[in-house]
């Protein structure tokens, strides 16, 4: 007796629906994408009860004639591709020809559509995949689709839907995403008859971002210069250094108009931000990639959110360069702003590293903090040496006002008040210094009087061997003894560690974590950042005036002065007005 048989179409559609239609937000996604593919300029979405009871999507796109409207509900019916070759270069959001039949098989479905030139429109009513009526209808040109009682015929699926609030927020997120991806299209979202989103067509991406997130959030973004590298075009906006979130929710990437997720790109962003991003934090991005559709496979999963690149390395490099370049360029602008002459005359500063004898100065004590002028005791002491004019490259006009809580240096510059986190600033300076040394001759190391032996697990030993070269350049002298034992005979000179073994274990832990979250390319730097950070100047070290001035000038000379190697901000500017 034969046991294999073909599934009836309605059942096959329900099976397919299991993949395409996960929840109300996926219905909205498919319908909105269809509207966009149909060239809509205005898309209106309405949901009730989280979309469980009713979803409606109305567009002013091309519409369909009756034959097409009927065909659109057949499985694997699509106007978007014709041949297998077309599948290799998808230019539309849809192409699988599955969404409409899938949705119609698990809901009470109504399609009303009309071509602009059509005499009459078409209305089709379907329940659980069975056509119940086909008649004239559809008044306005464009398409309206109503999806009621989602999963009414699949109680098990319906049970899996979450609370209305949760489903609603998924729909809202999805709408935000589509709105970002298509600034020129007007979007409306009605939630239980309340207007949740009303977006007029925007003339630019940043205008749409502003409409969605507000002026303040938009001011936290930097424009990414529109560049093409190896055929990969990158443009958009990314968060300034130090701007981050604890989840990927604001890490938005579009590829050829489609919002996507891809591990290669996640790495690329992290690498591009590198030390401008705190551990465990994610960047804020509105990044748009464009490339020949033949170089990317979007047919990985029915939801089309995942993509595969044919040349991941090129794509990654393009994104790393774009992000890093944007952050570096921003530094120039920032420096320029910092350098504008302050409204109050600034005290001339001794040149960093100049041969001037150090004036007799007291450390800034708590009682002197926040005095109007820097260094109140100066007049009482011996006559200070005449200040030498600062060299041109250090001509930043800032005035140190004092030190707050032994932690923040208070300064005045053109923009207003600047608070510098002394510890973070020091870490940044040391970090860049280390990196320079590492790239050149290596970090100076100091021999240990008594070489140290440490025992490591096989995995830990492997890590040390793998990164032997980096460690050597960092000034860590290491030799395997076999049997999981290592001899350590030198450490970086600048370290202030009382417990070298503890320091090494800390670094191994760091390496282990780093290797799982980032690419090997920047690994050495990451490790340095962490070790430097832990063993650099302590927050409560009291600095004297020349040291403070030096600190600020060194910081300003850094490549990425605005945050420490862990992405913590080094300064906070409090602007006038
Ligand atoms: P796909 O989008 O993968 O082609 P769908 O099942 O989503 O498959 O849609 C099937 C077809 O119906 C589309 O190819 C398109 O021709 C047509 N269609 C769907 N929605 C619309 C719409 N809003 N306006 C015009 N045509 C549409
Ligand atoms: Mg579609």
Cα separations in angstroms, 185 against 34, 175, 274, 290 = 13, 12, 35, 19
Split at pLDDT 50, 70, 90, the class of 358 is very low
Residue 24 or 575, more confident: 24
* Ligand 1 centroid from CA 339, angstroms: 56
Rounded-to-integer distance, Cα 363 and Cα 6, Å:
86
pLDDT in tens, 306-329: 889 999 999 999 999 999 999 988
Average pLDDT of the chain is 81
Position in ligand 1 atom list of the atom nearest CA 77? 10
CB of 60 sitting under 6 A from ligand 1: no
Per the CB < 8 A criterion, the answer to whether 272 and 323 are in contact is: yes
* Ligand 1 centroid from CA 68, angstroms: 9
Residues 6+ apart with CB under 8 A from 255: 289, 290, 291, 296, 307
* Ligand 2 centroid from CA 503, angstroms: 56
Give the least confident one: 162-176, 369-383, 521-535, 547-561. Answer: 369-383
Instruction: Name the closest-CA residue to atom 7, ligand 1.
Output: 99
CA-nearest of 520, 527, 519, 516 to 566 is 527
CB of 79 sitting under 6 A from ligand 1: yes
Rounded-to-integer distance, Cα 315 and Cα 296, Å:
10
* Ligand located closest to 97 CA: 1
Rounded-to-integer distance, Cα 480 and Cα 194, Å:
68
The CB-side HSE value for 248 (13 A sphere, CA atoms) comes to: 11
Structure token pair of residue 39: 């060239």
Position in ligand 1 atom list of the atom nearest CA 57? 23
Cα separations in angstroms, 55 against 47, 141, 189, 249, 309 = 5, 20, 11, 24, 34
Instruction: Name the closest-CA residue to atom 13, ligand 1.
Output: 78
Instruction: Name the closest-CA residue to atom 19, ligand 1.
Output: 34
Rounded-to-integer distance, Cα 408 and Cα 119, Å:
73
Mean pLDDT of 74-78: 84
Rounded-to-integer distance, Cα 359 and Cα 509, Å:
44
Angle subtended at Cα 238 by Cα 235 and Cα 239, rounded to the nearest 5 degrees: 170
Residue 108 has pLDDT above 70, yes or no: yes
Neighbours of 188 (CB within 10 A): 17
CB of 115 sitting under 6 A from ligand 1: no
3-state secondary structure 478-546: EEEEECCEEEEEEEECCCCCCCHHHHHHHHHHHHHHHHHHCCHHHHHHHHHHHHHHHHCCCCCCCCCHH
Residue 150 pairs with which residues in a beta bridge? Answer: none
Integer-rounded Cα Rg, in Å, for the chain is 31
CB of 98 sitting under 6 A from ligand 1: yes
Split at pLDDT 50, 70, 90, the class of 339 is low
Per the CB < 8 A criterion, the answer to whether 205 and 236 are in contact is: yes
* Ligand 1 centroid from CA 299, angstroms: 17
Instruction: Name the closest-CA residue to atom 20, ligand 1.
Output: 34
* Ligand 2 centroid from CA 257, angstroms: 14
* Ligand 2 centroid from CA 95, angstroms: 6
Split at pLDDT 50, 70, 90, the class of 175 is very high
CA 358, distance to chain mean position in Å, is 46
Structure token pair of residue 484: 């999981």
Question: Which of 21, 31, 37 should be mutated for ligand 1, with most atoms under 8 A from CB?
Answer: 37
Residues 6+ apart with CB under 8 A from 432: 558, 559, 560
Structure token pair of residue 130: 């069975």
Split at pLDDT 50, 70, 90, the class of 442 is confident
Q: How, if at all, do strands 285-290 and 251-255 pair?
A: parallel
pLDDT in tens, 449-495: 888 888 888 888 887 887 787 788 878 888 888 888 889 888 887 77
Residue 532 or 246, more confident: 246
Angle subtended at Cα 14 by Cα 13 and Cα 19, rounded to the nearest 5 degrees: 95
Split at pLDDT 50, 70, 90, the class of 125 is very high
Helix or strand run (H / E) with residue 449: strand 445-455
Position in ligand 1 atom list of the atom nearest CA 145? 23
Q: What is the three-class DSSP state of 250? A: helix
């Amino acid at each position: 007796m034969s046991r294999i048989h073909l599934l009836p179409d309605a059942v096959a559609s329900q099976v397919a629906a299991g993949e395409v239609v996960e929840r109300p937000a996926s219905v909205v996604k498919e319908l909105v994408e269809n509207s966009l593919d149909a060239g809509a300029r205005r898309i209106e979405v309405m949901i009730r009860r989280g979309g469980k009871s009713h979803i409606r999507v109305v567009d002013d796109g091309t519409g369909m004639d009756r034959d097409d409207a009927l065909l659109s509900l057949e499985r694997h019916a699509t106007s978007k591709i014709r041949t297998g070759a077309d599948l290799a270069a998808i230019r539309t959001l849809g192409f699988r020809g599955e969404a409409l039949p899938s949705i119609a098989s698990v809901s009470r479905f109504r399609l009303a559509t009309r071509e602009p030139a059509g005499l009459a429109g078409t209305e089709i009513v379907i329940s659980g995949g069975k056509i119940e009526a086909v008649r004239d209808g559809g008044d306005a040109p464009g398409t309206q689709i109503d999806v009621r009682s989602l999963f009414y015929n699949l109680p098990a699926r319906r049970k899996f839907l979450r609370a209305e609030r949760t489903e609603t927020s998924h729909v809202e997120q999805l709408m935000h995403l589509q709105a970002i991806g298509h600034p020129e299209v007007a979007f409306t979202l009605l939630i239980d008859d309340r207007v949740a989103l009303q977006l007029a067509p925007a003339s630019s991406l940043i205008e749409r971002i502003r409409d969605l997130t507000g002026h303040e959030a938009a001011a936290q973004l930097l424009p990414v210069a529109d560049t093409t590298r190896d055929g990969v075009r990158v443009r958009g906006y990314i968060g300034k250094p130090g701007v981050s979130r604890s989840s990927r929710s604001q890490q938005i990437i579009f590829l050829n108009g489609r919002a996507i997720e891809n591990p290669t790109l996640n790495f690329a962003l992290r690498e591009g931000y590198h030390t401008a991003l705190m551990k465990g934090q994610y960047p804020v991005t509105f990044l748009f990639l464009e490339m020949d559709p033949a170089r990317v496979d979007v047919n990985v999963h029915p939801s089309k959110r995942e993509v595969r690149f044919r040349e991941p390395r090129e794509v990654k490099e393009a994104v790393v360069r774009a992000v890093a370049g944007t952050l570096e360029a921003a530094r120039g602008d920032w420096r320029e702003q910092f350098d504008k002459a302050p409204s109050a005359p600034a005290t001339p500063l001794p040149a960093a590293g100049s041969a001037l004898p150090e004036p007799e100065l007291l450390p800034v004590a708590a009682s002197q903090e926040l005095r109007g002028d820097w260094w109140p005791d100066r007049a009482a002491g011996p006559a200070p040496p005449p200040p030498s004019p600062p060299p041109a490259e250090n001509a930043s006009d800032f005035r140190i006002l004092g030190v707050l809580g032994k932690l923040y240096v208070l300064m005045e510059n053109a923009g207003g008040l600047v608070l510098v986190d002394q510890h973070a600033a020091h870490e940044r300076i040391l970090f860049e210094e280390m990196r320079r040394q590492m790239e050149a001759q290596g970090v100076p190391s100091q021999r240990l009087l008594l070489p140290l032996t440490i025992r490591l697990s096989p995995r830990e030993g492997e890590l040390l061997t793998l990164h032997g070269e980096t460690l050597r350049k960092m000034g860590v002298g290491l030799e395997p003894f076999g049997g999981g034992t290592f001899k350590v005979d030198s450490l970086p000179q600048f370290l202030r560690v009382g417990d070298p073994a503890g320091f090494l274990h800390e670094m191994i832990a760091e390496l282990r974590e780093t290797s799982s979250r980032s690419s090997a390319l920047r690994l050495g730097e990451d490790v340095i950042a962490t070790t430097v950070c832990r063993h650099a100047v302590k927050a409560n070290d009291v600095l004297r005036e020349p040291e403070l001035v030096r600190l600020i000038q060194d910081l300003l000379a850094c490549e990425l002065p605005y945050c420490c190697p862990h992405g913590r901000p080094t300064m906070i500017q409090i602007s006038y007005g």
